[in-house]
Structures are given as C-alpha cells and as structure tokens.
Amino acid sequence: MKPRVELLCAGSELLQGQLNTHLAKLGALLASQGLALSREATLPDDRSAIAGALRSALSRSDAVIVCGGLGPTFDDLTREAASDALGAELRYVPRIFSRIKARFKRLRIRLPAENKRQAYVLAGARALDNERGTAPGQLLSLPPARPGGPRRTLALLPGPYRELRPILERDVIPFLRKRYGRSSFTDHLALHLGGIPESAADEKLKGLVAKAGPGLSFTILSYPGQVDFHAYIRGDSRRSAEACLREVRHEALAAVGRFLLWEGDSPLEAEVGAALTRAKLTLAVAESCTGGMIAAKLTDIPGASSFFLGGVISYADGLKKDLLGVSPRTLARHGAVSKECCKEMAEGVRARTGAEIGLSVTGIAGPTGGTASKPVGLVYIGVARPGRKAEVHELRLSGSREFIRARAATRGLQLVLRAALRRGK
Amino acid sequence: MKPRVELLCAGSELLQGQLNTHLAKLGALLASQGLALSREATLPDDRSAIAGALRSALSRSDAVIVCGGLGPTFDDLTREAASDALGAELRYVPRIFSRIKARFKRLRIRLPAENKRQAYVLAGARALDNERGTAPGQLLSLPPARPGGPRRTLALLPGPYRELRPILERDVIPFLRKRYGRSSFTDHLALHLGGIPESAADEKLKGLVAKAGPGLSFTILSYPGQVDFHAYIRGDSRRSAEACLREVRHEALAAVGRFLLWEGDSPLEAEVGAALTRAKLTLAVAESCTGGMIAAKLTDIPGASSFFLGGVISYADGLKKDLLGVSPRTLARHGAVSKECCKEMAEGVRARTGAEIGLSVTGIAGPTGGTASKPVGLVYIGVARPGRKAEVHELRLSGSREFIRARAATRGLQLVLRAALRRGK
C-alpha cells in the first residue's frame, strides 16, 4: 500500500503573498522516495487553525509533516497546536536548551529569552537535531487510526528549508520508508516536448493515458513554450516498476517522440549544460530584454564554469555598441529590436569572449515601449556558431512582461540545446 | 466581519515538485482587497479528493476559490468534483462552445474533441469569460451555511495565471467585495530591516506586538540578509485603519528605525530602482558568482532602462580581463575571488559602461571550488562611485549554492540602495 503523506505549512505570510517553495521542493523529494504527497494545506499562525488541520490530517493519513512555526517568536505556534490536537504535554528538555545556548555563544550573539520556548518537546516525541538552526525537529509515533491499520507518524520540522532538509533526509524519510515504504518501488518518466500545443499532445497520448490505473498515473503540463509529459509508476519490485517504465516510454515516444526536447528530471538549463559539456562547446550570452535571466539560470548549475563563460547584459543601446560591437549604423537603421541587431549581438559576444556559441536576445517585454510595427512581445533570438552564419528567430508573444521574458529565456535555452545536440552527434 | 476566504489548488503536479506560485500571487492580491485568505489546500487530480475538500471548505468559509482543473484533458476534474460536492448538475452551454471554436479558428489550430468538456457549467452558475484561454470561469452563489449567516460564494477559475487573473479582478473580487467587504478597510505596514537578527528584532518589537488583537496582527520574517516586519490592520472606516497604521508605524520605528532599509510592499529591486531614479544615478553590474541574478532582478521592473544600463557577467576569468579590464597581475597575484579583483571589476564596469555606480560580485558559491584560505561562501561585493574610492565588502556565508548566491545578490542590492539614498539626500 502506498502511504498517505500529508504536508501542513504554517505561516500567515504564506497566505498573504510570501512564496511557498517548500511544497514544490518537499513534494519532489518525497515523491522520489516513494512517499508522494497526497495533499497539502497552508495555514495561518493561529493555534486553533493548526490544531484543527492536524486533527483532520491525522484522521485520514498515515504520516503528517508540519513545516514552520517552531521559531522562538510569538507567532510560532506549532508546538502548542500539536499539543492541543494530540492532548500531549509539552516537556522542557534541558539538553536542547544547552545546545541553543552553545550555538548563540559560538555565533557571538546574545541569547534572547524567547529562545527557551524552542526547548519544549511533545511527550513521547524524539527531538531531531538541527545543525543549521536553533529549533529541533520532533518525530512522534502514534497508534493506528483504525484497528489493524499501520501506526501513524507526526513530524514537526523548522520552517527554513536549509534547516529542514537535512533533518528530513537524515531522520524523517528513512523512518517513513522503513515504516511504510518497504514493499513498493516507484519510478518516474518525464518527457519535455517543444513545438506542440498541450491539447494536441493530449490527443496523441490519450491511448497511453487510458491505461492509467493503480500504480500508474500521468500528468501533462504546459509552460511558456513547452509541454511536459510525466508518468508515475509504482511496482511491487524494482524490476516490475522498471519494466513498466520501459513500456510506457516506448509507447510515449512512438506518439510524440518527434517533439522531444529532452528526458528526465533535470531542468532545461541543466540539460543545456550537459549537452554543451558532451559536445565540448562553450557558451556566452548577450541579453537585452531577458536582462541576465538566461545567465542566472545557467549559473544555478554547480560546475557551470565548464561550459559557460559569461557575457554581456546590453540593456542600454550604448552597451550594444561598446561591449558587443553592434554597428551604430545597424542601430540607427533597424533599431535595437531587430533581426540585424540580434545577429550582430550574437556574433559580437562570440567574438569578444571566445565562446563557440553566442546566444543573443533582444525584444520588447513591455508593458510600454511598443509601437505599431514593433509591438510589445516582439523578441529576436540569435545563435552564432563557428563556421556558419548566425541564425535569428523571431517570436511574437503576448502576455505580461514576466511571461514574455520567461518565454524568451526558455526559447533561447531550447535553441542552444538544439545546437549543442546537433553538434554532439 | 472579515470574510473567511479559502483557496483550493487542483493539480497532482503541485504535490510532486511543480512550484505553485498562485497561492503567493492570489494571497497578496486578495489581502490588498480586504479579502485575505484564511487557508489554502493543494489537492491531487482526484475527483473525490477535490469534492471532499470543497465540502469541508464550504462548511467553514464564506467564499471558496478553486484554481485549476478546468482544462480539456482527462485529469481536469474540478467541474465534476464541484458537481459532486454540491449535488448540482453540469449543463452544456452551446454559446461557450461556439466561443472556444472561434478561438481555435482564429489561432488556426484544429479543435480537439476534448475541448467540448469546457463548455459545461454548474447549474445556477454564471460563466465568466476567459479572454486569454478556452476554459471559462464559473461563479455560483450558495445559501448560508447557518441560518442568518451570509450567503456563500464558490468561484471556479482556470489554472494558468494569465487567464485567471483578469477573471479574478474583473468578476470575482468585485463580487466578493460587494457581498462581504463593504464594512471593513484594511491596511498593511511593511518595514524591511538589515543588520539585525530575527530574534533581536522580535525582542525590540515585543511591546508593540503584545498589542495584537482583533483587527491588528503582526508577522516577522527572516530572509538571507534581511528581516521584514509586517503589520496587518483592519478598521471599520478607512480613517480608523489609517490612524491605527500611523500609530503602529511610529512605535515600530522608535524600536527598530535605525535598522530600516525601506518601507512598503515593493521588493528590494524596485526600491533600488526608485532610489536610483530619484538620485538621477545609473547603475551597471559586473557579476561573477551571482551570474546575472542581480541584473535579472533589476530588469524585472518595468522601466528599468531609466536607471539600469546593463553590465558584464564575468563568469570566466578571461572575461574579467577582456570585458572589465581587471589586470592580469591582480588575477595572478590575488586570484579572481579577492578584494583587489572585486574593486577592479566595480571600477571597470563603471568605466566601460559610463554608469555612475558600478556594482561587482565575485565569490565561491560552491558546492566545490573552495580551499582552506578561500572557502565556499567567501564573497566580495564592490561598489564604485564617482569621486571616491570603490568600497569592497567581504562576506563569509555558509549554506547551499542557492543560499549563498541569493544572499550575495540581496546584499549587493542593499549596498546600491544605501549608496543611492546617501546620494539622494
């Protein structure tokens, strides 16, 4: 049986505009361990709301993970809410407070009195060391919800991801796998497609998708410029899961293989990096409207220096001339957002950095700055390579500034991927 | 009375690693309209899970907004789940299907048969036109949960944010404000602090925070390099809300005013842009370990070209020499991650772009590449300004590559903000 794992995130700020990245990160991490989340809830810093949500979650799930609300401050109420929900006492653990004191001493910060709250642990719970912060995690084993069912698990984890992740990986996941995960193996297929709309991908894949059932599920997702097909597979043995995956992959590629950009869980920028490295090519960028987004994505990847040299953010026209060598005549005659300027930017950044591939982007991201002949959303992307003329692609996008920039950055990376794959073969 | 508004997000992918940005965006938008979310849940593409969550949400809240699951494909189940939860029929509306057909014709795409599902609407619901996609929204008024209570509202919205937002702003928010929002006014104070740890800020603010109660709540949030203090105020009149805000602000500034970086809801990069514009200064960046992150943040801002010229991503050492004029001797003697190199980068990018302020960042983001004398986390940030020597700050950070880069980018922007404010006065 697949365990039902639920996540609760505590924090009023998460309901009022603060981005919650925990759900995505924990969701991926847990799914990879055969512990996919069945549900998530975000709750305000309100003791009774957290306690109520905990009660419901524990009544229907095998394991509940609560993130946040273990800090020292007045709005950190997870400990108290869990105590309410379970009817379990909070007990002061002197050893934990000694650790907190030692940490503050090491960091040469005066210890505020509030931090003592972090040394209270639910009766019966195991305290989980936090190497990167003051609040320890807590792990509690609970009786089954129904007679004969599996024992339930409650884990309380600190909010900051850098503190939470080591505790989750070292203590919580192994515990959950041992308790619930032994008998099932999971696998995941991800195909990333370009040049096909979502509904067309759906039609081509519907024969395969109709085979969904226990142990096999599918999702189709569409992004600016891309459609992703995911299959999640569960089997009783690693062998049966792998055999099912091979079959699904074979059938999916027969249906949409010609639109395939890449396979697997790595993001586009990592795939670009791997393809450049395999093909022994280096890349430099000249970004105008994307303003550094492509470079920032590429340098997210550890070891990016082996394929990425850097480049120029030529937001102002002067920089297109001075740092990239775009001719004043081109700018005067065709403007900065033109096929001609884009070509010179790609060739210029290649020449000035010594990279094998030069990628350039120039466009009008809006919301203002458009004209009748050059509307908001007009974007040119250029790719310069050794021994052939630079190619320039024109995009006509609609939507917000954010959307136009994201789509242009994705398309730029896709074009480099294609160039690197062609060369790598 | 403040209405209880709940958000449900449907999508298995959101539980398995796909980032959900809807909660943050809708949370901020709704809070600004006096309709702050009281709770959110993320659900799998599972008809009974969505129906069950809808039932619970409608039993305790005034308004429930469901995002996603209105697409044409097999895993879009929100319509059916709402029909189950309410016992309301789904009715085919020919006018909606005609619109969908017209849209496909305009885009010159063949209409897949699946899209017909999108023309079904809950009995009694109003269909809300979707100008940017095929699935219309649906708005349904429901009887009160308890006799004498307010009527409840259910809104179903398409998943893509660019489709959802216009429907929310044009149809749903005005409806909810009219029904629930008339009698209360909300205000929000945000103070952004630097150079103070979270627990110290908490201690200094605890006198103020003790005044929390109906209509007044507080949150303290800590980020890499920054602490934010938020106060949320609700009053019976705009005047009373404003008066309360003034009082809270006065007391907060008395406690932590000397750590104040800026006030208000705009992000750091927007504040940097506004300060540069006021001081009539332009900025250029030379980024190594942050690899374009600072430039990408600054160019997120519409109109960034009025203060941001661009710059150089000098990821490879060769580019530090060729594009920024760092001397080969400095690189040979001190290395690329050094105070000396950082200073020459800041001065170099200023000189080569003509910007008044040059910002440079060089460091070791890890996970590899550190040595005993230059460990992972060592980062230098330089600020060059007209008429004075460039200043260079040394940071010694710990944590992941992601954290080190984020912290370095924030610190760089904070230093530019400080320089611009000093000059602006």
Rg of chain B on CA atoms, in Å: 26
Of B172 and A235, the structure prediction assigns the larger pLDDT to: B172
Direct distance between the N- and C-terminal alpha carbons of chain B, in angstroms, rounded to an integer: 44
Residue A120's pLDDT is what?
94
Residue A184's pLDDT is what?
66
Average pLDDT for residues B90-111, to the nearest whole number?
A: 85
Residue A224's pLDDT is what?
67
- Residues in B closer than 8 angstroms to A31, CB to CB, are 15-17
Residue B184's pLDDT is what?
66
Tokens of B238: 């705009």
Residue B397's pLDDT is what?
85
Model confidence at B243: pLDDT above 70: yes
Q: Which of B15, B220, B292 sits opposite A292 (nearest CB)?
A: B292
CA geometry: angle at A30 spanning A26 and A35, to 5°? 145
Residue A183's pLDDT is what?
56
Residue B140's pLDDT is what?
97
pLDDT in tens, A246-255: 999 999 999 9
Say how far apart CA A352 and CA A358 lie, in whole Å.
Answer: 10
Contact between B27 and A44 using a beta-carbon 8 Å cutoff: no
Interface test with B, best of A9, A12, A288, A326 (most B CBs within 10 A): A12
- Residues in A closer than 8 angstroms to B43, CB to CB, are 39
Of B20 and A279, the structure prediction assigns the larger pLDDT to: A279
Give the start-end residues of each E strand in B296-347. Answer: 308-313
Contact between A44 and B45 using a beta-carbon 8 Å cutoff: no
Domains plus CATH for chain B?
5-180 (3.40.980.10), 185-263 (3.30.70.600), 268-424 (3.90.950.20)
Model confidence at A136: pLDDT above 90: yes
Ramachandran assignment for B346, one of left (phi > 0), alpha (psi -120 to 50 degrees), beta (any other): alpha
Quote the percentage of chain A above a pLDDT of 90.
Answer: 63
Residue A199's pLDDT is what?
80
What band does B1 get if pLDDT is binned at 50, 70 and 90?
low
pLDDT in tens, B103-123: 877 766 778 788 888 999 999
Residue B246's pLDDT is what?
94
pLDDT in tens, A325-341: 999 999 999 999 999 99
Model confidence at B284: pLDDT above 90: yes
Model confidence at B22: pLDDT above 90: no
Of A224 and A53, the structure prediction assigns the larger pLDDT to: A53
Give the start-end residues of each E strand in B194-321. Answer: 216-223, 226-235, 260-263, 283-287, 308-313
Average pLDDT for residues A31-35, to the nearest whole number?
A: 79
Q: Which of A13, A39, A72 sits opposite B219 (nearest CB)?
A: A13
Residue A274's pLDDT is what?
95
pLDDT in tens, A396-416: 887 778 888 988 999 999 999
Model confidence at A261: pLDDT above 60: yes
Q: Please name the residues in contact with B348: beta carbons below 8 A apart, sequence gap of 6 or more.
A: B286, B324, B325, B326, B358
Nearest residue of chain A to residue B198 (CA atoms): A73
Give the start-end residues of each E strand in A3-47. Answer: 5-10, 37-43
B87 min Cα distance to partner chain A (Å): 23
pLDDT in tens, B147-200: 888 899 999 999 988 899 899 999 999 999 888 865 567 788 999 998 787 788
Residue B62's pLDDT is what?
94
Residue A220's pLDDT is what?
78
